[in-house]
Structure 1
Amino acid sequence: MRYTLRQLEVFLATAHFENVTKAAKSLSMSQSAASGALKDLEQQFDVQLFDRIGKRLQANELGKLLRPRAESLLEQARELEQELISHRDIGHLNLGATLTIGNYLAVGLMAEFMREHPGAQISLEVANTESIARQVANFDLDIGLVEGELHHPDLEVTHWRDDELVVFCAPTHGLAAKGTLSDQDLLTAEWILREQGSGTRQGFDRAMHGLLSNQIIKLELQHTEAIIRAVEAGLGISCLSRITLKDSFARGSLVPLSVPHRDLLRAFYFVLHKNKYRSAGIESWLELCRRYTQ
């Protein structure tokens, strides 16, 4: 074999950081050793994998083509190493989840996963749908759990479970006694919403088609809890996932508003890179999520 796994590690780290010094640091190597490994890899096959743009090394077309295959090969090598060391140890799993899923579902699933696999290590990144998709596409995350629809050539997006958005307000709000809202009510209300780029906002915008340009958006906030507190304070009405509002509805601090003529159903999705190797940890996580869909 004319290349080494170490050379592939240097290639992938350089593609990620676009800088050999940073790549070397991430691999605990000297800058000269990393540069030498990358140079040897290119010379052995008489190819160029990067274009120099100022101080950056940006993967060229060949580098971009080889990157996902190198990622998959290294992932398989890491899993083989783990199997040799610990006989099918799950290893480390890098998860990403959107705010609704991360704050209300993922932690419970992580706890169950670690009970079933005591040696497993899990990290969780919580961000909006666009950010999670970008990190999965860049191989920074193994799996994404998102609430927004995605169309990306490098990502595999599959249905996980159904969800429902709910319009709601404080019990003292003028619309609380009305219960069922008309389109005119939706247009005159002041809204407190999630930011653009979030799956919740995407679902809301789709449900409110035909009204969006005339609706009154008073606040856009990045955090679900902040929206709940603002609505409880009477600043406006909002629309969030039902799973985030269960406790507030039970306490009576918020009340649901019916909008039967608007489709507020949506889905949660798994997001993986199409070329990501499905390790034992990834397969076990997906299987657990499918079991706990309620």
Structure 2
Amino acid sequence: MSRRVAVAVGAALLVSAGLAVVLVGGGGGSSAGDSSSVSAAPSIGFAEPAPERAGARDGVLSADEAAAPSAPASPGVPVGAVERSLVRTAQVTVEVPDAAAGVRDVRAAAVAAGGFVAEESSGDRGGSVVLRVPADALDRVLDAVAAVGEVTDRSSSVVDATEQVVDLDARVASQQASVARVRALLAEATTIGEVVAIESELTAREAELDSLTGRLAALRDQVSLSTLTVDLRVPYVLDDDEPTAAGFGPGLAAGWEGLLALGTGVGTVLGFLLPFLPVAAVVAGLVWLVVRRRRRATPVT
């Protein structure tokens, strides 16, 4: 009897152990499932996939969505072409019948385009005018200047100053921030030594800022206003375009002109000697009297 009880108790213990193993295995499975779900979550630093567009159906986008630009890869980088900073200069030579009138016309063309005359000089045989005109009006002013006379020479050049402008912009911004920091330190200074040292540093940084600002302003002025140099020339015209013809008539005319020139020369000489004639007459009379007296005083042999 006791043997049967022992067998029953052993069987009960085996069944209990099996149930425990099953329960423990189920709990472990659930733990594994929890860990797998955690690992499936997106880690920090990776962007989640973008949601589908509302108009996307089976991979087909609407016309508006297809035309819409995509977002830039970097939000701080501008999209599209960079605006170039170009320095344009030009020079033109124009032949005009009247230099003064040509200078007036060139000046009027510059003023009409919103520019001004930087330098000006003129004379009987020509002149020179240096204009500063808006860059977008340079071609229009060139056409207006060409209409003043006949263009004999024309040239132009373009210099890309974009990198210089960007560099100076960045340096000015950095120097402004530096000056602001030094001014903040000056406001917090408590001793005379600190004030003197900080003011010296502030003066140096402000001078550097003024230099950079002036360079940037000059460069932007060259970009916004183009320089146009206009040379005006008056062509030389002979008084008598036709050469002298040969023959009796032209020879007679030349001889008559020569005779007139000779008469003019003789008249000039006579006019020069005329004031000396009375003196010469007096001298000649005195000489004649002396000679006559000597002849009378000499005895005749």
**TM exceeds 0.5?**
no
Question: TM-score range, shorter-chain basis?
Answer: under 0.3
**What is the TM-score of this pair, normalised by structure 1?**
0.19
Q: Kindly indicate which of the two structures has a greater share of residues assigned to helix.
A: 2
Which structure would you say has the larger Rg? 2
